[in-house]
Structure 1
Amino acid sequence: MSDSSPSTPDQTAVDRALIDAVQLGMPSTIADLSALVRIPSVSWAAFDPAHVQSSAEAVAALAEATGVFDSVRIARAAIGDTEELGQPAVLAHRAARNGAPTVLLYAHHDVQPPGRDEDWDTLPFEPTVVGDRLYGRGAADDKAGVMAHIASIRALTEVLGDGFDLGLALFIEGEEEFGSRSFETFLAENADELRADAIVVADSGNWDDVTPALTVSLRGNVTFRLTVRPLEHASHSGMFGGAVPDAMLVMIRLLSSLWNEDGSVAVEGLTSREGMTPDYDEAQLRSETGLIDGVQPIGAGSLLSRIWWQPSITVTGIDAPTVANASNTLIPEVSVRVSARIAPGQSAAEAADAIVRHLEANAPFGVVPTIDDIDTGNPFLVDTSGPIVAATKRAMADAWGVEPVDFGVGGSIPFIASLVESFPDAEILVTGVEDPHSRAHSPNESLHLGVFHRAVLSEALLLARLSSR
């Protein structure tokens, strides 16, 4: 893969050496990334935690092999006030020297469940290069983020040696895809090792495969299980259908109350935000999402405002008889998993209360819904006025040859609000290894290798420049 960055008269000798180091290191970087992708490190409760442990051990070995850290360890923390431990994370630390700043590099090594193998064109845990993309679960989200940090440190060390002044903290989480349940405890227990002047979160995207982006806003999230049980037991649908409300009827009616006719959210108390958005037309939306011809987008306002600045509600799973196992039965109970995204400016707790009130008020036929297993994460807005943010944008422009876009993201990274609360003086830099066609969380997840190369170079340039301050 050749993806050399543009040469400019302003490049220093260190810049040019970093460009060469990143380029020459890409084959081994991609090989190491592929080895991580082969580990099925799904952090969800229903999956084998041994794989997450194996993934943590592999990441720790990569960090140790850089030779720059004073300490590298695998650590776990309690989930809230319970005795249950969260999934293993990797924590490495190097003290700053001669007054240089410290940068915390964050990514996560756990992945989403793969879904059905038949929905993939390649096996989900067998990394496969097709054209300029590497396919596999976690290839983009977020094992590429892990390797962006490792590869940039390798390049930095090759060019500056291991005596550079920059302080580094590396935090590779093991349960981001399962709600970061032990995150706040982990921050509190390891605050001294995690404290930094800047925090680079390599877990977002870019405007497209030739234009970088710095994520400056994220929606929050409220996820929960919704259950309705109108019957004590199943009954024959022909004998009693038409007089007795079954669980599917109740659930369909209740869920339909969540949206207006145009598909926008109809929950009183969920707020939107006013904000600028770049030009983004329906053709680009269709290209990036696979929206089928003839199917219309939902919502109101500009397309990006619907994704960045407005709430949304999605049903992501349902427990009910499958079509293959369907019988002529009035179903007594149905459960669904609901994922709501919250606009910046509203707290997740306030949004959760509004959704619960709506569901309780709109349940039909006197059914009392059960709402449990609630997870929340607050939205996030970046302060872009700091000098390290400016340095990051300059590094991106130099690595990509294109000025970066300030980017809003419809998805959520709930722990960022916790980082801000724990380290209020740190500048937060949400960077990305993905592009709009990466399909994170979906079948055929992939990483654009050119985007990955430029993301590594951006970070290497930034670290070198911060070290020289």
Structure 2
Amino acid sequence: MHQKIYESVERFWQTSMLAALEDFIRIPALSPDFDNSWEKTGHLAFAVEQAKAWAQKQGIRGLKCEIVKDEGCTPCLLVEIEPSSADKFERSVFFYGHLDKQPENEGWDADKSPWVPVLQNGRLYGRGSVDDGYAFYSLLGAVKVMQELGFAHPRCVGLFETCEESSSRHYEAYLDKCRQRLGDIGLVIALDSTCGDYDRLWIVRSLRGMLGGVLKVQTLTEGVHSGEASGIAPSSFMVLRNLLDRLENSATGEMLPQAFKTEISDETVEENRQVAALLGDEVWSHFPFAGATQPLSRDALTCLLNRGWRPEMTVTGIDGVPKVENAGNVMRVFTAAKIGIRLPPGVDAVKASRALSQIVTENPPFQAKVSYSSTVESDGWTAPQTAPWLQKAFEESSQAFWGNAPCYFGMGASIPLLNVFSKTWPKAQFMVAGGLGPNSNAHGPNESLHIEYALKLIASIVWIVANYKE
């Protein structure tokens, strides 16, 4: 039976899903944070309309699709699929994914492009392929395969958004609006996640939270000759470095404030030790290091704990700095840095954000003008204890489709909505998985979907939903 499932999934990929994903890649459906004119350009609306039209052509029995949109808010696609038999479960299966995208980014290979799909070496390249346009087509495709093979399935519902890359700021209102139609949920499946390799089913047990904001330092009201001012006026960049040093040890990358940290349990360490033994140097070696650059640590366990359970900071943008080719001998007026801090699960993001603001704005060097504007405050997430039936389905799926046992680990990124789902449906189980594995490069150049892994993941969903229990 497992072989039939995989063959049906493979046929679905060739006859329907591949073309749909290629069409999706061609849409520059930038998330609102990266396209202020998103309503005028209409790309997000078109992505949702195209997904709806595709779904309605698949012949999925009991399917209803509806575009939900409030004024000024990005659209969502509400999906309802009636159960295959009269034996209805009290709680349904919920599908989550998103159809908005990150911007193009620079550095794509000459034969690839963010908006032109390319099939190469078993991967589908293009923006949104793995993050996470494939989720919508995969989840509905799994139901299609179940119906073709005669598997009974529970009621399945989904609410697919177009604002995930902009903090899902419209999603909770839509969730409340559609709450009655969605009903109670017993299993949430989200595919906007990662895998350690492509040799087994990877299930994410935890995700980090996120702080984001802009730290701005101003020391002058207009630019002045650096030969005249240096040694007298403090540079805004020097003050910015000093403030960032309050947050991070720049020699090691360790975050300093206790407000960002959590205690790591022995159970978590042991789980990560097993993953480290499995992956070894692959934990860090697949990153595109330049020249002789070394990772912060070559110890796999340390890397995993850093990524999943320790706070880490990244400066993702700088304002007030001209390009090198245009930089004269001028002391600049200001420097502003966009910073992102990943928080371990269990750390209160709102409290951590207040602490961050206080740390960087109190008593600035030389009484410089300093401001911090918070843009993101989201908590991390930890999965509830896995039910025996779901644990068994994970094991059976991984063995059947990959020939290896599944692996469980923590993801370094964030999916803020998982906390919303946990609070909305406290009895729900979770399957958080995805194709964001080595060299998939979501958000960066050459984003790609590992096709074989995606097909096996769809096959696993077929098996898991077919074995759904309450």
TM-score (norm 1): 0.89
Q: 1:414 and 2:416 equivalent? A: yes
Alignment counterpart, residue 285 of structure 1, candidates 283, 286, 294: 283
Instruction: Identify the match of residue 447 of structure 1 among 437, 446, 449.
Output: 449
- State the one-letter code of the partner of 1:53: A
Distance between the aligned counterparts of 1:256 and 1:397, measured in 2?
Answer: 47
Counterpart for residue 167 of structure 1: 155
Distance in 1 (alpha carbons) for counterparts of 2:66 and 2:363: 50
CA deviation after TM superposition for structure 1 residue 392, in Å: 4.0
1: CA distance between counterparts of 2:123 and 2:363? 46
Deviation at 1:165, TM superposition (A): 4.7
CA distance change for structure 1 residues 213 and 108 in 2, over 3 Å: closer, same or farther? same
Paired residues of 1:204 and 1:431 also in contact (CA < 8 A): yes
What is the aligned counterpart of 2:50 among 52, 55, 58? 58
What is the deviation of 1:289?
1.4
The alignment status of 1:31 with 2:28, answered yes or no, reads no
Provide, for residues 281-316 of structure 1, a one-character-per-residue CA deviation record: whole Å limited to 9, x for no partner. 773234221234643332797221111110111101
Aligned partners of 2:286, 2:107: CA distance in 1, in Å? 22
Provide Cα deviations, 1:149-199, integer angstroms capped at 9, x if missing partner.
Answer: 1221221222228xx551010221111011101122122111123332111
Letter in 2 for 1:283: D
Q: Structure 1 residue 257: deviation in Å? A: 3.0
Aligned-pair CA distance for 1:120: 6.2
Offset of 1:127 from its aligned partner?
A: 0.8
Amino acid at match of 1:76: K
In the TM superposition, 1:416-435 aligns within 5 A as 416-435=418-437
Mapping of 1:311-330 within 5 angstroms? Answer: 311-319=311-319, 320-330=321-331
Q: CA RMSD in A?
A: 2.2
Counterpart CA distance in 2 for 1:120 and 1:253 is 40
**SS of the residue aligned with 2:56?**
helix
Distance 2:345 2:110 in 1: 34
In structure 1, the residue matched to 2:78 is 91
Which of 29, 51, 64 lines up with 1:71 in the alignment? 64
In structure 2, the residue matched to 1:378 is 379
Residue 5 of structure 1 corresponds to none
Residue 305 of structure 1 aligns with which residue? 305
Q: Is the Cα contact below 8 Å between 2:276 and 2:283 reproduced in 1?
A: no
**CA distance, structure 1, for counterparts of residue 435 and residue 61 of structure 2:** 23
- 2:141 and 2:45 map into 1 onto residues whose CA distance is 22
Identity of aligned residues (%): 26
Structure 1 gap ranges (5+): 1-11, 78-83
Q: Is the 1:62–1:150 Cα contact (8 Å) retained in structure 2? A: no
Note closer, same or farther for the CA distance 1:356–1:69 as it changes in structure 2 (3 Å cut).
farther
Cα contact 2:203–2:432 (8 A) shared by 1: yes
- In the alignment, the residues of structure 1 paired with residue 5 and residue 306 of structure 2 have an alpha-carbon distance, to the nearest angstrom, of 40
The offset of 1:317, in angstroms, is 0.8
Residue 145 (structure 1) aligned with residue 143 (structure 2):
no
Query: Does the 8 Å CA contact 1:122/1:128 hold for their aligned counterparts?
Result: yes
Which digits, 9 at most, give the CA deviation of each residue in 1:60-98, with x for residues without a partner?
112222333442111135xxxxxx633111111134442
Instruction: Check whether the contact 1:120–1:443 (CA below 8 A) recurs between aligned residues.
Output: no
> Is the Cα–Cα contact under 8 Å of residues 22 and 457 in structure 1 kept in the other structure?
yes
Match of 1:242 in 2: 231
> Are 1:221 and 1:340, in contact at CA under 8 Å, matched by a contact in 2?
yes
Q: Is the 8 A contact 2:153 2:465 kept in 1?
A: no
1:327 and 1:127, CA in 2 relative to 1: closer, same or farther beyond 3 A?
Answer: same
Name the aligned partner's letter for residue 347 of structure 2. Q
Within the candidate set 122, 125, 142, 2:115 is matched to 125
For residue 438 of structure 2, what is the aligned residue in structure 1?
436
Deviations 1:318-354 (A, max 9, x none): 1121212212211112221111100011111122122
* 1:447 CA drift (Å): 1.0
What's the secondary structure of 1:407's corresponding residue?
strand
Aligned length: 447
Aligned to 1:19: 6
Report whether the alignment pairs 1:113 with 2:115: no
Could you tell me how far apart the structure 2 residues matched to 1:99 and 1:350 are?
43
- What is the aligned counterpart of 1:210 among 186, 199, 207? 199
TM-score normalised by structure 2 residue count: 0.89
Which amino acid is the alignment partner of residue 61 of structure 1?
A
SS of 1:71's partner is: strand
1:282 to 1:253, Cα distance in 2 relative to 1, 3 A: farther
| Distance change in 2, residues 1:211/1:282 (3 Å) | closer
Preserved contact between residue 108 and residue 445 of structure 2 (Cα < 8 Å):
no
State the shift of 1:216 in Å.
0.3
* 2:256 equivalent among 233, 256, 266: 266
2:200–2:398 CA contact under 8 A, matched in 1: no
Deviation string, structure 1 residues 342-368 (Cα, Å, up to 9, x no partner): 001111112212211221236322124
1:182 maps to which residue?
Answer: 170
Deviations 1:393-429 (A, max 9, x none): 1333322221110121111111111111111111121
Q: Give the conservation status (yes or no) of the 8 Å contact 1:85–1:182.
A: no
The match for 1:3 is: none
Which consecutive segments of 4 or more residues in structure 1 shift more than 6 A?
A: none
Q: Equivalent residue of 2:259, what SS?
A: coil
Q: Give the one of 215, 219, 222 matched to 2:211.
A: 222
- Structure 2 residue matching 1:197: 3-state secondary structure: strand
Please state whether the residue corresponding to 1:302 is helix, strand or coil: helix
Moved more, 135-144 or 352-361: 352-361
Is 2:325 the partner of 1:332? Answer: no
Deviations 1:99-128 (A, max 9, x none): 235111111111111113656651111010
Indicate if the aligned counterparts of 1:91 and 1:170 stay in contact, CA closer than 8 A. yes
Q: Contact 2:393 / 2:467 at 8 angstroms: preserved in 1?
A: no
Contact 2:88/2:155 (CA < 8 Å) preserved in 1?
A: no
